[in-house]
Amino acid sequence: MKLKTKILSIDDNSQNLTLIEKVLNNDFDVVSSDGNSPIIELVSKEQPQIILLDIKLQGKCGYDLCKELRDSGVGANIIIIFISALSTVDDKLVAYANGGDDYINKPVDIVELSHKLKSIEKRIKENEFLKERVTQASDVAFTSMKQASELGLLIEFFKDTLTISAPDPLFLEISKFFNQFDLNFSLEFRINENQLQYPKNSVTSLEGEVLSLGIKAKKIVLFGRNILFSSQWCSILVKQLPIDDEDLLGRMKDHFAILLSIIENRLMFMESEHKRSNARAKALSSLNESLATDFFEIKQNVLAQEKDLLALLSELTSNMDKKAISLGLSYEQETELIGLFEETKEQFQDVIGASILIDNKLENVNRLLTQIH
């Protein structure tokens, strides 16, 4: 049902009040007063949008009532129309000076009054519509600013967590994010076959169960003033949300869902890095063991070859001593031949020394591999 514009008619003449009521009641909500009630109390009670005010009241002046009303601030937006038999220009100027919006001479032309009031009513409706649109636009602009600011926090969180590779530092960044919304929370990371709950030593047994069950729950579950965001990798329990503010609650749901996605990606990266690290460690361990075995075998082969070479050289030297006598070589020839064998023996010794150097280098490589592992 469309509400009628309320008009307060103030006149000490009851016949004038009755006439106005009869003429205007079909189109307006008319309230009448003889002017004896305190103007501010009357207006505060009735909340009219238009006042028809007689200038000459019994014991009072309409100008004074208008000024009192304007000065109080109660009637700042009320349209006040003076009705009076006074019709000079000076009278009208005084009326405007004391806060009047319009002026109608007595006797009142009812048709003129009705048209004037309908025109004013239309203007009032237009003003109210404009105010409402301005309020809506202001609310939308404010909400947009807030949302942009909140999205900025998400972008900052994303940048701050790009280089994080461990759960504890990631939790600290999440805490900073929620602190900016003045919200309490608890969470569970599911990574490397472990369930890590934060804040450490502060999660109640019931909260712990809710977080652990999150892996089987829907992505977003609202219960009471709390909300649970869950994925395969993480559950976040946000407590004491402002559920009375639907716009804010809706934005928070959207923001926290994005937050969960960012956290999920970081945890996936951490687990992937953990698996790669384990694979590298296993590969190095296997390589170390394999090289250690190969180095040991090489060392044994080199030692065996050294031993065989020395034995062969000693046997050859002994045989040459024996043959030198039976061959009838002169002393000079025998000495030259023995010298030749001694020189060859020294060369064998150099080869053996080189194999020792190789053995030392192999040992050094084996030690470095052990350190890397």
pLDDT tens digit sequence for 73-96? 887 788 899 888 877 888 888 888
Cα separation values, 319 from 60, 312, 323, 324, 347, Å? 155, 10, 6, 8, 19
> In angstroms, what CA-CA distances link 134 with 8, 123, 129, 147, 148?
28, 16, 9, 20, 21
Q: How confident is the model at residue 304 (pLDDT cuts 50, 70, 90)?
A: confident
pLDDT at 359: 66
- When pLDDT is averaged across residues 292-305 and rounded to a whole number, the result is 72
Is residue 331 very low, low, confident or very high in pLDDT (cuts 50, 70, 90)?
Answer: low
From CA 18, how far away is CA 4, in angstroms rounded? Answer: 19
* Cα angle, residue 98 at apex, residues 97 and 102 outer, rounded to 5°: 80
Confidence check: pLDDT of 141 > 60? no
**Is the per-residue pLDDT at 121 higher than 70?**
yes
Q: By mean pLDDT, which of 186-195, 258-267, 295-304 is the weakest? A: 295-304
pLDDT in the model for residue 361: 67
Beta-carbon-side half-sphere exposure of residue 98 (alpha carbons within 13 Å): 21
Task: Please tell me what DSSP assigns to residue 20.
Answer: H
Report how far residue 325's alpha carbon sits from residue 350's, in angstroms, rounded to the nearest whole number.
Answer: 30
Q: Is the pLDDT of residue 99 over 90?
A: no
How is 63-111 classified by DSSP, letter by letter?
Answer: HHHHHHHHHHSTTTT-EEEEEES--SHHHHHHHHHTT-SEEEESSP-HH
- pLDDT category, 325, cuts 50, 70, 90? low
d(CA 227, CA 221): 6
Q: By the 8 A CB rule, do 212 and 219 touch? A: no
Distance CA 67, CA 98 (A): 5
Categorize the per-residue pLDDT at 109 as very low, low, confident or very high, splitting at 50, 70 and 90: confident
SS3 189: strand
In this structure, the strands spanning 184-191 and 220-223 are unpaired
Q: Is 63 in contact with 95 (CB distance < 8 Å)?
A: yes
> What DSSP line would sit under 36-58, residue for residue?
-S-HHHHHHHH--SEEEEESEET
Question: Collapsing DSSP states into helix, strand and coil, what is residue 288?
Answer: helix
Helix, coil or strand: residue 192: coil
157-185, pLDDT tens digit by residue?
Answer: 999 998 998 999 999 999 999 998 888 99
Q: Residue 193: its pLDDT value, please?
A: 87
**pLDDT category, 37, cuts 50, 70, 90?**
confident
43 burial class (0-12, 13-18, 19+ CB within 10 angstroms)? buried
